[in-house]
Structure 1
Amino acid sequence: MTRKIVLPPKKERHKLFGSIEPGLKLKPTEKAQMPDLQNTKRDFLFSIDAVGISNVKYPIIIESDLNPKQQTTIASFKMTSKISHDSKGTNMSRFTEQLEIYRQNGGFILTIKNLFDFTKELAERLKQQDASIEVTFPWFYERKGPSSELIGLNHADAKISVSYVDGVGFTSSASLTCGVTTLCPCSKEISEYSAHNQRGFVTMNVEFTEDYHENKDWKVALLEAAETNASAMIHPVLKRPDEKMVTETAYENPRFVEDMVRLVAADLYELDFIQAFTVECRNEESIHLHDAIASLSFRK
């Protein structure tokens, strides 16, 4: 038989589980009268390279040269600034205040130009000489089946980083990780028929030139560098005629991870708005327990 419970009033229930009456309040309630520990000026021994907040989830608007041309997604923000040895700390609330100003002013449209403005304004709000921001987000793009032309959405993991230093200016960089298909050249060479293939992940970290003004969508350029050098592309929707074409394309274009990073590097080398890059490829091997990896870096 179920026991009948007689519930006390909610306030009494709270007391039952440890709540107590508010104590005597003696400290100031007005901001102007409250001590500001973070702005304390003394010799605190060391300067700090970066202090701020990370893992801040916020809605953003992404513009793309591929469909969908404009998309709303959730980004993860990291925002920091330096502080000198004679400052105790930073004002954490000012970072999120800056984000909210942009959200309320038509939404946070994620362009490098807007990030330049944001970091400069953030440095001024913090009363510091510098500020940095890092935004990580998923970017979606349409992909058609090669035969059926049925459309679905693929996505890549993207990141933009911008730093500002008063009197020096801005630096900007970006990263894109996307999935591809790779077919093993060795397996193809030694087997009577067939060859093992797997999903590979290509990560490209690039530094932009100072005169890059987003006249070409960096996301699309990096995606093309990875996908056009792979054995085959990844597709969200494939019918049987599509599968035949993708499978045969992969067989015709075998790639080691070493091949991938070199071929992608060649494409990035040809992009005039990139001054330095790192390329990494990681294959989730289909017949080995381990992954295969390769990477290279180059500065023009």
Structure 2
Amino acid sequence: MRSFPSKEERHQLFGSVPPSLGTKPLQKEDMTDIQKTERDFYFHLEQVGICRMSYPVHIVSKMAPQSQTTTAEFTLSTSLPAHQKGIHMSRLTEQLHSFYESSKPLDVNSLKELTAALARRMNQPSASVQVAFPWYMEKQSPVTGQSGLMHATIKYDVHFHEKDGWTCHVGCDTQVTTLCPCSKEISEYGAHNQRGSVSILVGLFEQASHPDDIKAVLLHIIESNASAPLYPVLKRPDEKKVTEEAYENPRFVEDITRLIAIELYEQPWIKGIQVECRNEESIHQHDAYAKCSYEKNL
């Protein structure tokens, strides 16, 4: 059996060198803090921080499973005045980990607490958190009651300012079934259908009372205005039901976008809306697309 030099000798052979003794301090209190430099750096920054930070989060819902752990992607930031060079970004991750250790469910209220805590910790007047995660829900097929899990993407965008309070947005991205009204009208039999992708983002009135489970409300609004919802499991009686339901509720992307916008507008806790719908057309290479935005002037 062949013998080799020691691990240290092997590392040296492949280029490793001893650590430099160096001249710079080793203790934190003796190190220069570049971020604390103060002079005229020309521009105020609305946001500075970290993005694409993946962390596990706890989710609760009125829909089964009512408690779940999923993985979210965070953007954490604070403002930065023109006279300060930078922020201590490690404090952002420390604050996120404290949030994780608290085991608080991820929702509007807990994110409001997190943004305020970030602003205090960073000694800045404002802070923002953007987060997106897959939310899983159990759905039963419409006839045979077969269960399975599906998911939608939920997004929160919460901004805190020490004088103005909070600005909160909640989004939901999911998919539905759509059936073409034109195809149904002109064809002797049948109609082409496709899978539609719907994305909504709503702004919340700060003083209004909003539902305990906003994401479930938004999902219902999307699915109930499509030709038919999607299901994880469909047996033949279920497939018949879903196919016929879509045929009875033909929808263009324009129709879905407007119908969802109307129902969102009717919610007293919603201040502003943005709705986008994209159909993966089954008879074209291109997609059909529509978008609607509205802000209540109250």
TM-score (norm 1): 0.95
> Where does residue 89 of structure 2 map in the other structure?
92
Q: Which amino acid aligns with 1:151?
A: S
How much has 1:116 moved relative to structure 2?
Answer: 1.0
CA offsets 1:194-236 (integer angstroms, 9 cap, x no match): 1111110110110011124544421111111110111111000
> Where does residue 265 of structure 1 map in the other structure?
261
C-alpha distance in 1 between matches for 2:211 and 2:257 = 26
C-alpha distance in 2 between matches for 1:153 and 1:34 = 52
How much has 1:155 moved relative to structure 2?
Answer: 0.6
Alignment map for 1:231-246 (pairs within 5 Å): 231-246=227-242
Tell me whether 1:9 sits opposite 2:22 in the alignment: no
> Where does residue 225 of structure 2 map in the other structure?
229
Q: Which amino acid aligns with 2:259?
A: L
Aligned to 1:102, the other structure's residue is in SS state: helix
C-alpha distance in 2 between matches for 1:98 and 1:216 = 25
C-alpha distance in 2 between matches for 1:98 and 1:35 = 23
> How many aligned positions are there?
296
How much has 1:103 moved relative to structure 2?
Answer: 2.0
> Where does residue 275 of structure 1 map in the other structure?
271
Q: Which amino acid aligns with 1:19?
A: S
How much has 1:17 moved relative to structure 2?
Answer: 2.2
Alignment map for 1:1-300 (pairs within 5 Å): 6-105=3-102, 107-300=103-296
Q: Which runs of 4+ in 1 moved over 6 A?
A: none
Instruction: Out of 23-32 and 168-177, give the one that drifted further.
Output: 23-32
User: CA 1:243–1:9 in structure 2 vs 1: closer, same or farther (change >3 Å)?
Assistant: same
Aligned to 1:32, the other structure's residue is in SS state: helix
Identity percentage over the alignment?
A: 49
Structure 2 stretches of 5 or more lacking a match?
none
Q: Which amino acid aligns with 2:144?
A: S
How much has 1:88 moved relative to structure 2?
Answer: 0.5
Alpha carbons 1:134, 1:159 under 8 Å: kept: yes
Alpha carbons 1:183, 1:196 under 8 Å: kept: yes
Instruction: Out of 194-203 and 6-15, give the one that drifted further.
Output: 6-15
Instruction: Out of 190-199 and 253-262, give the one that drifted further.
Output: 190-199
